[in-house]
Amino acid sequence: MKPSYLFARSLCALGVAFLGAMNAAASPPTAQPLPVRHRADARFAVVEHEYVTYILRRFPVVATYLGGDAFDPQLASVDGTLRDYSPAGLVREDARLAEFRARFSALAPVSLSARRRIDRSVALAQIAFLMHQHLVRRYQERSLDSYVDEPFRGVDWQIQGMTATGPATYGTEAEWQAVIARTRAVRAFLATAQKQLSAGVRAHNTPDWRVLSQYGLQSSAADADYFAKTLPQIAATDISSPRREALLHDLQAAGDDAALAYRELREFITRTYFEDGESEENPVLKPAFRADHFALGEAEYNWALRNNLRLTATAAELFAASWPVVTNTQAQMATLAQQIAAAHKWPAGADGADAVREVFAQLSQNAPRTDAEMVEGYRKTGQRLVAYGRDSGLFEVPADYRLDVTVTPPPLRASIEGAAYYPAPPFRATGVGRFYVTPTGDDAAELRAEHNYAAMPDLAGHEGFPGHDWHYKVMTHYREQISPVRWLTPGAVEDSSSMWEDSMAAEGWALYSEALLAEAAPGAPNGLYTPEERLYQLRGKLYRDLRVRIDIGIHTGRLSFEDAVTLFSQVVDFLPGSCQDPAAVKLEAKQASCQGARSAVTRYSRWPTQAITYRLGKEQILALRKRAQQTLGARFSPQRFHLEFMKQGTIPAGYFGDELLRELRAASALPVSVKP
């Protein structure tokens, strides 16, 4: 996913029909009398509802992402607000979280049903994360990317989820009033950000220099332009209300004030962290802020593994085990590339690395020539994937399910490179998730490198079917059976303040989906992929495998940032040489590789533990599936396993593995269906 998971309306849908049945809420199961030992479930439900409502009120942008205004009437105005990061606000928040912690803890696990015991553990881990962020890490003093991104993302998500009011207009008057209210809140929000960042300077708890440059200088300027220019332009196109002119006037005034607040934040960043008198083009950091300041540290990393991701292995153990996984995938790629080269009579070079590079170069020649051809290619790939899911028996796919392919709308193109999936807000009964593909401007080089026909199935399998699109639509279909606490994304949806517990399930499932398509299935002994497509699937696996080593390495001091960049280039792109060697980077291919590697490692440096969730989440699913096969024997059904796994929601499998196996044993004699 990556990168983001939002609800978005389509500006240019190129697939087939809207998915009806999969987006409808499932009928709740008939209530059964609870055994005496489970009578605390009702009390738990009360506390959980209060807790989820409170969290959504305290994190308004998370509420927008989840459709919180449909969860509880108390949240009707939440889309018009921004988070209160003030010291006094966080003190009150921590006190309230401590109250919820005491109330959840008072519900003895023995008095709860198995699923409620899981939910209790989830809530307690979320509370522990939030309080740890505030009281131990004091992350509010350095979370610059969160401060810069949050208002823009909140408003952008509001607009993407607006009600259609005509053939090409969107947003009721109330929805636009909420946008205006949130935009007006930007000034106070960023003023609080400056105070918290100033406290961080005094405490020597500051953002990494890369964040200061990227978000403090670049993104702040871009967001100023968005609020002053882009947002009013979008509104001028979308608003059809009788009060259109008044709304546009109010939004422009609010946008101008928000833009001024962003420029003031940028001036604060420049004044506080950068040398005076330097040119705008080449700002120089003050000496105190030039050193790397991104590493989470071993103790903190291990805390996050246990509390946030529900893993038992330590950072040291995962790092030590990571390299054999990487080299094994490299070896598979080299062997397969040599086989493909021989089959096509292509030159294979002197070794496996040469063969991989040569085969990728050859495969890139079979690519769309235009963006329109690219989208049509993904549409046909989606049809093929869905047909395979039906024919193989891996899933029971309703007849009206289609994988829509949608051109990324202009407001989202800056944040989506290549492709992404945005789910519908799970707390709402309306909306449809979108598999977005971003136009290249008919860039032939990009179309060949990133969207050639051999590369399409792996990407579409991850973002579309059976990856994110299928996963989120099945979960939304069963929303009544997934506890609301399991939908939360504590801290933020997707920035450095995030807990990332949801990523273990969501990205783990998407990577598992890529691998699943390579497994033998009835009627398909080699799975879905051709050998050429399989090579791209292994490439995707390789860099997810390497992420475990790099993320742990840079955050625990086992790898320097630049060593990680070189490692990424050498492993993922099969290119020898150091990215710090002037002679090596004179080569165009190596220079491009090092540039891409540096961008990837920068992301990992800002989001500790997120990068490891893909491979480790996938491995949890595979381990659970193996246990289920061993337990059920001939009664094992891949359809049932996949369905019951998805019905657990977006939490790490470490919470529910044993309970899932129990449910599978109980349900092994029942028919599988995703229909209400």
DSSP state of 227: I
CA 295, 298, 304, 309 dihedral sign is positive
Peptide bond into 484 cis (omega under 30): no
CA dihedral 179, 182, 187, 191 (to 10 degrees): -150
Which ranges of 519-612 does DSSP label H, i.e. alpha helix? 531-555, 561-572, 588-606
Tokens of 503: 């990523």
Q: Which domain holds residue 282?
A: 144-206+209-291
Measured at the CA of 534, the angle between CA 443 and CA 647, to 5 degrees, comes to 95
- 407 pairs with which residues across the strands? 437
Query: What's the pLDDT at 280?
Result: 67
Residues in the chain: 676
**In a 3-state reduction of DSSP, which class is residue 183?**
helix
| Per-residue exposure over 338-358, b if at least 16 CB sit within 10 Å of its own CB, e if not | bebbeeeebebbeebbbbbbb
**Alpha-carbon separation of residue 501 from 240, 310, 555 (angstroms):** 40, 8, 18
How many of the other CB atoms lie within 10 Å of CB of 658?
A: 12
Q: How many domains does the chain have?
A: 1
The pTM is what?
Answer: 0.92
Look at residue 408 in the predicted model and tell me its pLDDT: 86
- Asked if 81 contacts 185 with a C-beta cutoff of 8 angstroms, the reply is yes
User: How many other CB atoms are found less than 10 A from the CB of residue 191?
Assistant: 14
Q: Which residue has tokens 């061993």? A: 630
Amino acid letter for position 573: D
Whether residue 112 lies inside any domain: the answer is no
Cβ–Cβ under 8 Å, residues 306 and 312: yes
Residue 279: what pLDDT?
A: 61
Does 424 map to a domain? no
Predicted local distance difference test score (pLDDT) of residue 427: 94
Which mean pLDDT values do the consecutive 10-residue runs of the chain (676 residues) have?
36 33 37 62 97 98 96 96 98 98 97 97 98 98 96 90 90 97 98 98 98 95 95 95 96 98 97 81 91 97 98 98 98 97 92 95 97 97 96 92 87 75 88 88 95 97 97 94 97 96 97 97 92 98 98 98 98 96 95 96 97 98 97 94 96 96 83 51
Distance, CA of 326 to CA of 633 (rounded, Å): 32
Task: In whole angstroms, give the CA distance from residue 255 to residue 180.
Answer: 8
Say if 246 falls within a structural domain. Answer: yes
Q: Tell which residue, 481, 488, 425, has the closest CA to residue 644.
A: 481
Is residue 591 in some structural domain? no
Q: And the tokens for 372?
A: 């329109």
> Which residue matches tokens 């005094």?
202
Count, in order, helices (H) and strands (E) of the chain.
25, 3
654 domain-assigned: no
How far apart (Å, rounded) are the C-alpha atoms in residues 600 and 594? 10
Dmax of the chain from CA atoms? 75
Round to whole Å and give the CA distance between 537 and 531: 10
Q: What is the pLDDT of residue 157?
A: 86
The three-class DSSP label of residue 579 is coil
User: What is the Cα–Cα distance from 188 to 170, expressed in whole angstroms?
Assistant: 28
Taking the C-alpha atoms of residue 573 and residue 554, their distance in angstroms, rounded to an integer, is 20
Collapsing DSSP to helix, strand or coil, 185 comes out as coil
**Contact residues for 513 (Cβ-Cβ < 8 A; gap 6+):** 461, 462, 465, 466, 467, 470, 471
Identify which of 305, 336, 346, 331 has the alpha carbon closest to the alpha carbon of residue 611: 305
Q: Could you tell me if 34 and 41 are in contact, meaning their C-beta atoms sit under 8 angstroms apart? A: yes
User: Which pair of structure tokens corresponds to residue 189?
Assistant: 């929000």
668, 635 contact by CB (below 8 A): yes
> Token digits for 387?
């047909």
**Token reading at 282:** 């080449």
Q: How far apart are CA 260 and CA 263, in angstroms?
A: 5
Contact 430, 7 (CB under 8 A): no
Q: What is the pLDDT of residues 53-102, one digit of tens each?
A: 999 999 999 999 999 999 999 999 999 999 999 999 999 999 999 999 99
Helix/strand/coil (H, E, C) string of 624-639?
A: HHHHHHHHHHHHCCHH
Residues facing residue 274 across a β-bridge: 285
List strand residue ranges (DSSP E) for 30-73, in order: none
* Token pair 């829509």 in the structure block, residue: 404
Judge whether 174 lies within some domain. yes
Could you give the angle at the alpha carbon of 145 between the alpha carbons of 140 and 147, nearest 5°? 60
Q: Are strands 405-407 and 419-422 parallel, antiparallel or unpaired?
A: unpaired
Token output for 619: 């491995």
Asked whether residue 216 is domain-assigned, the answer is yes
Q: Is 7 within a domain? A: no
Instruction: Tell me if 158 sits within 8 A of 182, measured CB to CB.
Output: yes
Report residue 69 as tokens: 């205004």
Q: Are strands 405-407 and 434-437 parallel, antiparallel or unpaired?
A: parallel
Structure tokens at 571: 């492993």
Distance in angstroms (rounded) separating the CA atoms of residues 153 and 260: 18
